[in-house]
Amino acid sequence: MKILYITLENLSLHKGSVVHIKEVIDGLQKRGHQVGLIASASSKNKNVYHFYNIHPMTLFLLNFIDFKKKLYFISSLLLFLRLFKIIRHYDIIYARDFHTVIIALIPRLIFKKKLVFEINGIANEEQRLKGDRIVNRVFAFLIRKAENIATKCSDRIISVTPQIKTYLVQYLGCPSNKIEVVGNGVNTKIFRPIHDEDLLLHWKKRLGIMEEVAVIAFVGNLALWQGVNVLIDSAVTLLSKESKLKFLIVGEGVQKTVLVKKVLNSGFNGSFIFTGMVDYRDIPILINIADICVAPFILKRNQETGVSPLKVFEYMACGKPVIASRIEGLEFIGTEGVGYLTEPGDTTSLEAAMHDLLHHDEKRVSMGQKGLKIASERFSWEYKVAEIQRIMEQLA
């Protein structure tokens, strides 16, 4: 098949959505498909058959709106125009979010192309979380209308969680048989146990961590719904009992300034390491120097959408025990012995779980080995891309 993947994401950034895009495209190409991509990036993407880069910053327009909205508007316009030029060369359009479905609506109808809509969150609910101001409510209403149009105009929908599928069926009236659930995955060739002790020790020293010090790690977007503030509160309690312990927080996000200030006020500033954004190739090393990895999601936002977090699968693929919140989509962590589930937002249960694993080496190893096996068998990108291919083949 010839597949055109369209998105407004900037592929130059290191974040989960970009990892997802690149893994799906790379996986489809390895399965013999020709994949084109329209996206934004600072350099050529070598993993696709054709990469049609959009450069919104090269246009000087719309000075009456802010810079971010200007880029979004221009990117949308360029995507729309580009589609008219190249869409005829492809069999199926794969749109990552509702924006791109709407933008592709007229071109794909004119050229009679099938369209697959991938939905990774409920955008109108995320807009509501920004506050109860009238402008937010208006935007949320408009986004919901756009999401409704996107679901109706798509030939197939790929939902990243069962909860998002339920939402589409119950609140947007989408037929259940039109939606397939395909969660996130992990590249087990990149994320794997590293047994090079010299390399791991080098990285510990580079981060200022003594060899005998235990490490608890969080990797991901520093957004409110990730629960890193809960982790810090739990860590402070634990650090009052444990002297040889460091918390490694890998990533960037809107909450970083608040979180750093919280740590400074805790009295345990020296026990936390904020790495900021790091090269994607270094993340497996940072996970491997950890003894325990955490994903302390809060209920807000997550209880509506469920979760299929890249970070958890990456932790598992590196053979690390996982402590995560009891959120729909992560039940297997408890039932299959991959780690511990704690109540969302409960600092006491999170602290207790971390304390227990720190003092039970065999349990950490056992949980890590179970997670590694499950990641390889059920959460590899090869398995996920095979599901996506099956869905598109039904339309071809």
What CATH code is carried by the domain that includes residue 362? Answer: 3.40.50.2000
pLDDT of residue 64: 47
Instruction: In whole angstroms, give the CA distance from residue 143 to residue 1.
Output: 32
pLDDT of residue 236: 96
Residues 42 and 155 in one domain: yes
pLDDT at 5 over 80: yes
Q: How many structural domains does the chain have?
A: 2
pLDDT at 172 over 60: yes
Considering only residues 245 and 142, tell me which one the structure prediction assigns the higher pLDDT. 245
The predicted model gives 82-104 an average pLDDT of 95
pLDDT of residue 389: 97
> If we measure between CA atoms, which residue out of 186, 153, 179, 187 comes closest to residue 391?
179
Please report which confidence band the pLDDT of residue 302 belongs to, taking 50, 70 and 90 as the band edges: confident
Beta-bridge mates of residue 116: 94, 156
pLDDT in tens, 234-285: 999 999 999 899 999 999 999 999 999 999 999 899 999 999 999 989 999 9
Residues 216 and 109 in one domain: no
Residues 23 and 10 in one domain: yes
pLDDT in tens, 351-362: 999 999 999 999
Range of the domain at 305: 197-378
Indicate the SS3 state at residue 5. Answer: strand
Phi/psi of residue 77, nearest 5 degrees = -65, -45
Residues 250 and 323 in one domain: yes
Could you give the percent of the chain with pLDDT greater than 70?
Answer: 95
Q: DSSP readout, 326-393?
A: --TT-HHHHHTTSEEEE-TT-HHHHHHHHHHHHT-HHHHHHHHHHHHHHHHHHSBHHHHHHHHHHHHH
Residues 212 and 88 in one domain: no
Residues 6+ apart with CB under 8 A from 376: 188, 317
Instruction: In whole angstroms, give the CA distance from residue 311 to residue 307.
Output: 11
Lowest-confidence region among 59-63, 95-99, 134-138: 59-63
Model confidence, pTM: 0.89
Residues 143 and 227 in one domain: no
Q: H/E element holding 295?
A: strand 292-295
Residues 212 and 103 in one domain: no
pLDDT at 292 over 80: yes
pLDDT in tens, 43-61: 777 778 898 888 765 444 4
pLDDT at 128 over 80: no
Q: In what order do the strands lie in the sheet with 2-10?
A: 50-53, 34-40, 2-10, 92-95, 114-119, 156-159, 179-181
Beta-bridge mates of residue 247: 216, 272
The predicted model gives 101-127 an average pLDDT of 90
Residue 192 lies in a domain: no
